[in-house]
C-alpha cells in the first residue's frame, strides 16, 4: 500500500489541501517510514520559505488526504 505525503495550507482559517494549488500535488511513497522521512524533510526545509500561508505536511495510507483528521500523521 502506498503512503501519500500531502501539504495543507491555512487559508482564511481553513486547512486547504495543496492539490488546489499549482505544483503542490500529493506524492506517493512505498512505506510509512519513507513518507515520514520526506515529511520531516519538507517540514524542516520549508519553514524558512516565504509562503503566503502557514503549512502542515501529513502522511496518509492508501490515498492522498483531502482534509486534516485524526488519521493523518501530523508533525
Q: Which of 6-15, 29-38, 44-53 has the highest mean pLDDT?
A: 29-38
C-alpha distances (whole Å) from 2 to each of 44, 48, 68 are 23, 29, 18
Predicted local confidence at residue 52, as pLDDT: 78
Q: Give the separation between CA 73 and CA 12, rounded to whole angstroms.
A: 23
Cell numbers of 36, please?
A: 515520514
- Inter-residue contact 65 to 6 (CB < 8 Å): yes
> What is the pTM for the complete model shown?
0.83
Predicted local confidence at residue 70, as pLDDT: 53
pLDDT surpassing 90 at residue 38: yes
Predicted local confidence at residue 60, as pLDDT: 93
Q: Give the separation between CA 17 and CA 12, rounded to whole angstroms.
A: 13
Number of domains the chain is built from: 1
What's the chain's average pLDDT? 86
Helices (H) and strands (E) in the chain, counts: 1, 5
Residue range(s) defining the domain that contains residue 12: 3-74
What is the pLDDT averaged over residues 7-20? 90
Amino acid at each position: 500500500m502506498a503512503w501519500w505525503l500531502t501539504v495543507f495550507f491555512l487559508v482564511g482559517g481553513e486547512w486547504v489541501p495543496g492539490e488546489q494549488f499549482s505544483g503542490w500535488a500529493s506524492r506517493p511513497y512505498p512505506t510509512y517510514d519513507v513518507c515520514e522521512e520526506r515529511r520531516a524533510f519538507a517540514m524542516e526545509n520549508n519553514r524558512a520559505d516565504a509562503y503566503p500561508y502557514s503549512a502542515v505536511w501529513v502522511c496518509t495510507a492508501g490515498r492522498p488526504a483531502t482534509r486534516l483528521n485524526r488519521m493523518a500523521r501530523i508533525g
